[in-house]
Structure 1
Amino acid sequence: MSHIESDFLGELEIPDGVYYGVQTMRGKQNFTITEEAMQKEPFFPIAFGYVKKAAAMANKELGTVPADVADALIWAAEQLIAGKYNDQFVTDWLQGGAGTSVNMNVNEVLCGLACEHLGLPVGDKKVSPNDHANFGQSTNDTYPTAFHLSLLLRSNVLLKAVEELVASFYKKAEETKDVLKMGRTHLQDAVPMSFGQEFHGWGFTIADEITTIKEAQKHLLTINLGATAIGTTVTCHPEYPALASKYLAELTGFDFKNSEDLIAATSDCGSYVALSSAIKSLAVKLTKVCNDLRLLASGPRTGLSELILPQLQPGSSIMPGKVNPVIPEVTNQASFLAIGLDTTVMLAASAGQLELNVMEPVISYALYLQMKVMTNACNALRTKCIDGIVVNAEHCKDLVMGSLGIVTLLKPHFGYKPCANVAREGFLTGKSLHQLVVEEKQMLTQEQWDETFTYENLINPKFVK
């Protein structure tokens, strides 16, 4: 069943039982690009609920919207904040109009709910999407403000996933602090270290990005609520911008402040670039760490085989018994996607013209995807890989003591050239360093060798003058 609604472009058939109206339906029909609606990101309708509640509260206080209508809109906005009626947000992520279809989708749903709350039929003219739900507002200030809030909410979820991943690395570092391994540079033997140092280093480099993301979040606290169309505050009460932003801060607990220059803020997308760049940096570091994990787990017989990753699924349709490092692999792929989406954000942010950047919808979609895949990747890497990693301790120790790289610890005693000559001879003859230094050349006694190559001295070398 359906009914007819109209706007200045004409009539349109609307399904019965929905809270949205003609402008939402036009957007739904016009934009089927991603085939994903805004409801995919539950924080976006919630964020819009907060913005519209703050707007209705300000308009009620200023007397610009009738009190009973404002109260009904406040009640309706609270339903969105509670996460209800998500199925009513049906417009595609990608859309022309700088998000107008999304804003009107929200306005129409709010009005439908408000009418029902007042005992009126959905669509009754007593509560207007344009004249009441959108009073003193424009898509150009409500969409970015709601977008900022949704990004803060979503990025907090990402931060939790990153923090838990870092904690997992640090826990594994403590578990493996006594396991000796060979450090490598240029994929060649370098000097010894512990696996605890390796795991701690991985955790620490990722932890750096927690700070980076939190710094980027600060930019999102500057908003343009009340700027209306281009930042001149046309159609809104002079006290509305400050009042609405104050209410939004009180409702959400975030320290929102309107920009000192609303015209600049209405076209500027720098806060999105900062957040996307921070997420890209996280993705770059995760890529490096996962490359390390895959390399150190290579084998099991003909690779490094220093790490044994959790075995999650058969790895080949043709090679029996093969198991692949699927979680580091998928984390790599998620990271590549996030890095590419940063380019999308950069291009869209640079595409603003004059008083508005109409490309915010693709920025919102890109950032949503970025944070979703990175959150899921961090959680998968933690629960399905890092938590269950086993270190091949004896094999690692054998590799260290069989390496010529440990000759570096003898350099303070004998100098660079003699040590290089010994290492070269070992490489050409296949003899061990111990065999050459202690048994054949008698450069060290066995007692001196044992003192030099203790576990503690291998991972925390003492300075020798």
Structure 2
Amino acid sequence: MTSMREEHDALGDMALPDALDYGIQTARARDNFPVSGKTIADIPGFVRSIAQIKKAAALANSRIGVLAIETARAIVQAADEVIAAPKAEAFPVDIYHGGGGTSANMNLNEVIGIRANQILTGRKGGDAVHPNTHVNMGQSTNDVIPAAMKITVYGALNDLEQETVAFIDMLAAKEVEFSGVVKLGRTCLQDALPITLGQQFSGYREGLERQITELNRVREMCLSLPLAATAVGTEFGTFPGYKPAVYEELSRITGTAFVPEVNFFDGLQNADVWMSISSVLKGLGLLLNKLAADLRLMSSGPRAGLAEIELPSVQPGSSIMPGKVNPVIPEMVMQVYFRVLGNDAAVSRACEGELDLNVWESLILNAISESICLLVRVLPLFAEKCIRGIRANSERCESNARESLAMSTVVATLFDYQLASKVAHLAAAEGKTVEKVIVDLGIMTEERAKICLDPAVLTAPEKFNALFSQKIG
């Protein structure tokens, strides 16, 4: 026969199997919000962050003499067990739950309180350690959850930064590798002046390096917490000395110097920090999407497309067309961006809030966390399964550059635009290169035209300035 225990809350009594690690309020939340199948335990680091706060609060309350030492020790031990290895089944609250995160906070309060009771009394039931009175002492859901969100995201952004740096290093290596590959530039998807493939990759690299600065900026925002604000920002429910003590303990536990928000009312009411974070994630995803889309275009073909580069073949591309290979890794990257973009839209709405508390924090955390997780996972896949193995079709690239009508820009630079326009029209009408038309019209000698219309010369100021500074006769 299953051993049961009786629990009580403001709505009444409930019999729970004694094997459960959580209590009555968690059980109600489990039954009320079975909507997504994704629980608070599925958000990497979130349960751990709340447990760190509970541990810090117990130590702080013990230090200032309002929580018995034995009770604090039991809470700390229980919190340490959660921090070390949270059991997913103990945290069944769906991430989509109402109440501004109350169910998530109470889930931790109950799990830690029940375990602390067991440590002190040998049984899970009883009020030796009460989830509200003792575990939640000096706290409110309204300050615990946004504080835990920031602690969680602070760590996650660090992981994202490391993966982004590694990806940038891969791009930098390809930039060097492709420094001598001259190709046609394209604007409005039409032929433009030549560049090197290395220069093109330098643009991808530089854009992502800028995102590192942005990641650092928003990560610093996560260091200011509303912890000790309690319900509405007045700090009511805390005891003298609690606030400095809880921040000292939390910083020691996490190894990170977290500090109180300058204004707790702002910290509870306004969620614009999450819009800033989501915007940076969107910006990073946007640049990855641009790179992925460009790789698809440049590798298109391979016989009837641009075919400037060749992407690594990682799997067959068709169930009906033998030999077809698709750019599946870039296509995966682009889908990740679409999801990040959708998450950003959700965060924007959820950050609107009202009055003295933003109650949509569960959605905000879920969206931000998912975007970070997707980016953290996609970056090394993109690097190893695509970027590392890209090969340049140097001959195709150079041929496209030489045959482009955009080479008539050389004539416009050395002579005038009208003459250049005439050259371009003749080249198009007669199916000739600009170089051939220039020679045929006697504008330049064959030797001079070959030098001046070398696509490589046009890719670097030091090359074309030295050449074009000479008087052309």
Shift of 1:66: 0.6
Is the deviation greater in 450-459 or in 145-154? 450-459
Q: Distance in 2 between matches of 1:279 and 1:83?
A: 29
1:254 partnered with 2:251 = no
Shift of 1:361: 0.9
Tell me the equivalent position of 1:160.
162
* Secondary structure at 1:437 match in 2: helix
TM-score (norm: length of structure 2): 0.94
Tell me the equivalent position of 1:34.
36
Maintained 8 Å contact 2:194/2:455? no
Maintained 8 Å contact 2:194/2:456? no
Q: Distance in 2 between matches of 1:343 and 1:412?
A: 47
Tell me the equivalent position of 1:125.
127
* Secondary structure at 2:133 match in 1: coil
Q: Distance in 2 between matches of 1:360 and 1:41?
A: 13
Shift of 1:122: 1.6
Tell me the equivalent position of 1:99.
101
Is the deviation greater in 407-416 or in 47-56? 407-416
Maintained 8 Å contact 1:209/1:281? yes
Of 47, 53, 56 in structure 1, the residue corresponding to residue 55 of structure 2 is 53
Tell me the equivalent position of 1:446.
446
| 1:271 partner amino acid | V
Maintained 8 Å contact 1:45/1:83? no
Shift of 1:385: 0.8
1:374 partnered with 2:358 = no
| 2:441 partner amino acid | K
1:434 partnered with 2:435 = yes
Shift of 1:328: 0.9
* Secondary structure at 2:151 match in 1: helix
Query: Alpha carbons of 1:140 and 1:413: their partners in 2 closer, same or farther (altered >3 Å)?
Result: same
Maintained 8 Å contact 2:344/2:367? yes
Shift of 1:458: 2.8
* Secondary structure at 2:372 match in 1: helix
Maintained 8 Å contact 1:310/1:384? yes
Deviations 1:57-76, CA, capped at 9 Å, x for gaps: 11010111111111111122
Q: Distance in 1 between matches of 2:360 and 2:79?
A: 26
Is the deviation greater in 89-98 or in 281-290? 281-290
Structure 2 matches for 1:378-417, cutoff 5 A?
Answer: 378-417=379-418
1:21 partnered with 2:23 = yes
Shift of 1:93: 0.3
| 1:236 partner amino acid | T
| 1:436 partner amino acid | V
Maintained 8 Å contact 1:19/1:113? yes
Q: Distance in 2 between matches of 1:372 and 1:32?
A: 23
Q: Distance in 1 between matches of 2:139 and 2:328?
A: 49
Deviations 1:74-98, CA, capped at 9 Å, x for gaps: 1222222223334311100010111
Tell me the equivalent position of 1:354.
355
Of 288, 291, 309 in structure 1, the residue corresponding to residue 290 of structure 2 is 288
| 1:225 partner amino acid | L
Maintained 8 Å contact 1:99/1:143? yes
Tell me the equivalent position of 1:319.
321
TM-score (norm: length of structure 1): 0.96
Query: Alpha carbons of 1:15 and 1:204: their partners in 2 closer, same or farther (altered >3 Å)?
Result: farther
Query: Alpha carbons of 1:394 and 1:456: their partners in 2 closer, same or farther (altered >3 Å)?
Result: closer
What is the root-mean-square deviation of aligned Cα atoms in Å?
1.6
1:195 partnered with 2:206 = no
Maintained 8 Å contact 2:435/2:450? no
Deviations 1:337-372, CA, capped at 9 Å, x for gaps: 11111111111110x221111111111111111111
Tell me the equivalent position of 2:460.
460
| 1:16 partner amino acid | D
Structure 2 matches for 1:230-269, cutoff 5 A?
Answer: 230-269=232-271
Maintained 8 Å contact 2:336/2:374? yes
* Secondary structure at 2:135 match in 1: coil
Percent sequence identity is 35
Deviations 1:23-46, CA, capped at 9 Å, x for gaps: 111111111121111111231011
Q: Distance in 1 between matches of 2:420 and 2:44?
A: 63
Q: Distance in 2 between matches of 1:419 and 1:12?
A: 87
Of 57, 74, 80 in structure 1, the residue corresponding to residue 76 of structure 2 is 74
| 1:263 partner amino acid | F
- Listed as ranges, the gaps of 5+ residues in structure 1 are none
Shift of 1:119: 5.1
1:180 partnered with 2:193 = no
Q: Distance in 2 between matches of 1:258 and 1:391?
A: 53
Q: Distance in 1 between matches of 2:306 and 2:341?
A: 29
Q: Distance in 1 between matches of 2:14 and 2:394?
A: 71
- Listed as ranges, the gaps of 5+ residues in structure 2 are none
* Secondary structure at 1:132 match in 2: helix
Q: Distance in 2 between matches of 1:450 and 1:75?
A: 79
Deviations 1:428-465, CA, capped at 9 Å, x for gaps: 11111221112x12322233234324565232043345
Maintained 8 Å contact 1:426/1:436? yes
Tell me the equivalent position of 1:7.
9
Shift of 1:2: 5.1
* Secondary structure at 2:16 match in 1: strand
Is the deviation greater in 143-152 or in 379-388? 379-388
Q: Distance in 2 between matches of 1:436 and 1:408?
A: 13
Deviations 1:289-338, CA, capped at 9 Å, x for gaps: 11111111110110001111111222222222211111111111110111
Q: Distance in 2 between matches of 1:157 and 1:198?
A: 27
Is the deviation greater in 187-196 or in 372-381? 372-381
Shift of 1:256: 1.5
1:220 partnered with 2:191 = no
Q: Distance in 2 between matches of 1:369 and 1:459?
A: 41
* Secondary structure at 1:101 match in 2: helix
Maintained 8 Å contact 1:79/1:85? no
Question: Which aligned runs of 4 or more in structure 1 are off by greater than 6 angstroms?
Answer: none
Aligned residue pair count: 463
Q: Distance in 2 between matches of 1:247 and 1:380?
A: 38
Q: Distance in 2 between matches of 1:422 and 1:2?
A: 93
